[in-house]
Amino acid sequence: MSSTDSSAPGVEIKYTQIFINNEWHKAANGKTFPVINPSTGEEICQVEEGTRADVDKAVLAARKAFDIDSPWRKFEPVARGNLMRKFAGLLRRDIDYLANLETLNNGKPVEDSKGDIYASADCIEYYAGWVDKIVGETIPGAHDQLIFTRHEPIGVCGQIIPWNYPIMMMAWKLGPALACGNVIILKPAEQTPLSALYCAALIKEAGFPPGVVNIVPGDGPECGNAVSSHQDIDKVAFTGSVEVGKKVQEAAAKSNLKRVSLELGGKSPLIICEDADIDYAVSVAHRAIFTNAAQNCTAGSRTFVHAKIYDEFIARSVELAKTRVVGNPFDDMTTQGPQINDSQFKKILSYIESGKQEGAKLECGGEKACEKGYFIKPTIFSGVKDDMKIAREEIFGPVMSVLKFDSYDDVLKRANGTSFGLGAGVITKDLTRGLTFAKQLQAGSVWVNDYDAVCNQAPFGGFKQSGHGRELGRYGLEAYYEVKTVVVKLI
C-alpha cells in the first residue's frame, strides 16, 4: 500500500554550521554540501563541509577542554551526570521539533523518530547514572604494598555515526564517553547531519563547557578520514559498513595506534522452527526485516523456515507485507518511509534484480513504491539458496529472503556460514532448543522468541566482521576508559 498524503509540516532549519568550542563556525575551505530529503529527492539546505582543517580546530578545542586543570576535568562525577540529565531533558522538551527534523532528513515515520528520541534521552540518562560507579579494584600484593586500579578517561574521542538512526547512534556514542569524562569530536553522516547539529545547541544550553563536545559535519573520505587518522585523537568509534570500518581501523593503526571500536554490518539469520506459533513468527519476522525500511544493521535478512511450515509462512508473510503502508513519513498511516538516498535506492533494486536472475521467486514487491522519493515496496523472495547474492550480502533494504530447512544441525551451520555475526534469532516453543541455538549461534546478540530487542543496559556489538567492542550497558563503558595500576609501597 502507498500513502498519498503529501503534506509535511514546515520545519525551520536552525543550524547548518560546524560546532566547535560551543561556537558556530563556517568551514575552513568555504564550501558547503547539500542535504537531501529522501521522501522527495529535493534539497533541504546546505551545510558547512568540514575537512581536515576543521577537525584540527576541533581537536585543539577538545585538547584544551581535556586539560587536567580544565573545568570539565575538575567536575565532580555528580556534576557531570547532572549535565547529561539536563541534556536528556532538553531532548524530551524539544521532541516534536526534533522528530520532524529527523523525519525530514532521514525519512523514517515521525512516530518512529519520536521513539528514537525518547530512547536516546533514556540512554543519556542511563549513562548519567554510571558517572560515580566507574570504579577500580584493590588487588592483593606483598605485605607492604597497596595495589589498586583507576579507570581514567582516554581523552579526545572521535566518533563517526551513521545515517540510519542519527540521534540514537549519537546518544550511544556520547553517553558512555561523557560518563567516563572524555571529550568528543563527533562526525554525523553527511546524509543526516541536521539533528546532530540541533543537539549541539542543546549541549551548549545544558551547560557543557566549551570544547567538551564538538560536531563537525562532512563526508567520509575527507572529514571521517581526518578523524580516524588524526595524530592527536586518542580513540575512534565507528558505526557503519564493513568496508569503511576496515579503512577506519587501518587509518587508526597507521596514525597513532589509537583505540578503535567498530559496530559494522550484518546478514543476520532468524530461524523459524516447526513448532512456532505461525502468526507470531510471521509478525516477528516481518518486524525483523522491515523495521526502519530495513535500514538496520541487525535486520533479520535471512529468514530460515522449517519445511513443514514453509509454504504457510510464505503465504501469511506476503499477506502481511501487502498491508504495509509505504509513503510520506509525516502521514500517520505510514509505516515505511523511503530509503536514504538515490544510490541506496538503486543498489537495493539491483539486489532485487539479482534475486530474480539467480532463480529466487519474487512473491511480492520488488519495485519502486511512489512517484517521487526513494521508496521501495516491501519485497519477499521464496526459494532462496545460500549461495545467492541476496542471501550472502547486506542489502540494507526491504528485502526478505526466505530459505527452507529440514535439519536443525544443518540450519545452524547455514546460519553461521557468513562473515557477519551481529545478530541472530530463533522462534520455538522448545526452550531447550532455543537455548541450544543461543549457545551455538555466532552472533553478538541472540534473541529467542523475539528479535532486535535492544535495551540500554544490555551490551550490543558483533562477532567476526560485524565489528569489535561493545556499546550500551556496563560493557559500553570499557571502550572509553583506560585502566591504570597504582602500586604503593608502605614505608
Q: What is the pLDDT of residue 186?
A: 98
Q: In this structure, what DSSP letter does residue 459 have?
A: -
Q: Which triple of cell numbers denotes residue 173? A: 556514542
Confidence label for 66 from pLDDT (cuts 50, 70 and 90): very high
Contact 360, 388 (CB under 8 A): yes
Q: Where in 245-378 does DSSP place strands (E)?
A: 259-263, 269-272, 302-306, 326-327, 361-364
Q: For the segment 328-339, what is each residue's pLDDT rounded down to a tens digit?
A: 999 999 999 999
Q: In this structure, what DSSP letter does residue 208 have?
A: P
Strands 156-160 and 183-187: parallel
Q: What is the pLDDT of residue 10?
A: 85
Quick one: average pLDDT of 135-144? Answer: 97
The sign one gets for the Cα dihedral 408, 411, 415, 418 is positive
Contact 265, 295 (CB under 8 A): no
Q: For the segment 336-352, what is each residue's pLDDT rounded down to a tens digit?
A: 999 999 999 999 999 99
Q: Which triple of cell numbers denotes residue 28? A: 575552513
Quick one: average pLDDT of 469-480? Answer: 98
Quick one: average pLDDT of 424-436? Answer: 98
Quick one: average pLDDT of 242-253? Answer: 98
Q: What is the pLDDT of residue 9?
A: 75
Single out the residue of 364, 358, 363, 420 nearest to residue 388, CA to CA: 358
- The fold for domain 269-461 equals Aldehyde Dehydrogenase; Chain A, domain 2 (3.40.309)
The set of catalytic residues is 263
Whole-number Å distance between alpha carbons of 229 and 211: 20
Give the Cβ contact number of residue 335 at 10 Å: 20
Residue 8 has pLDDT above 80, yes or no: no
Q: Which triple of cell numbers denotes residue 73? A: 576535568
Q: Is 326 helix (H, G, I), strand (E, B) or coil?
A: strand
Whole-number Å distance between alpha carbons of 294 and 102: 17
Whole-number Å distance between alpha carbons of 332 and 394: 30
Residue 384 has pLDDT above 60, yes or no: yes
Give the lowest-confidence range in 8-12, 37-41, 63-67, 485-489. Answer: 8-12
- Where helices occur in 420-461 by DSSP H, the ranges are 431-440
Homologous superfamily (CATH) for 10-264+466-486: Aldehyde Dehydrogenase; Chain A, domain 1 (3.40.605.10)
∠ CA(245), CA(250), CA(251), 5° rounding? 100
Q: For the segment 266-324, what is each residue's pLDDT rounded down to a tens digit?
A: 999 999 999 999 999 999 999 999 999 999 999 999 999 999 999 999 999 999 999 99
DSSP 209-231: PTTSEEE----IIIIIHHHHT-T
Whole-number Å distance between alpha carbons of 491 and 487: 13
Contact 165, 292 (CB under 8 A): yes
Question: What's the N-to-C CA distance of the chain in angstroms?
Answer: 79
Residue % of the chain over a pLDDT of 70: 98
The average confidence (pLDDT) of the chain is: 97
Break the chain into its structural domains and give their ranges: 10-264+466-486, 269-461
Whole-number Å distance between alpha carbons of 394 and 462: 15
Q: Is 18 helix (H, G, I), strand (E, B) or coil?
A: strand
The pTM score is 0.96
Quick one: average pLDDT of 73-86? Answer: 98
Residue 6 has pLDDT above 60, yes or no: no
Confidence label for 1 from pLDDT (cuts 50, 70 and 90): low
The sign one gets for the Cα dihedral 425, 426, 431, 436 is negative
Q: In this structure, what DSSP letter does residue 297 have?
A: T
Instruction: For the sheet with 423-427, list strands across it.
Output: 361-364, 379-382, 399-405, 302-306, 269-272, 423-427, 445-448
Q: What is the pLDDT of residue 215?
A: 98
Tell me the β-bridge partners of 236.
158, 260
Q: For the segment 16-36, what is each residue's pLDDT rounded down to a tens digit?
A: 999 999 999 999 999 999 999
Backbone angles phi and psi of 169, in degrees to 5: -70, -30
DSSP 52-85: HHHHHHHHHHHHHHTSTTSHHHHS-HHHHHHHHH
Q: Is 280 helix (H, G, I), strand (E, B) or coil?
A: helix
Give the Cβ contact number of residue 422 at 10 Å: 26
Confidence label for 4 from pLDDT (cuts 50, 70 and 90): very low
Which single residue is written with the C-alpha cell 521464496? 382
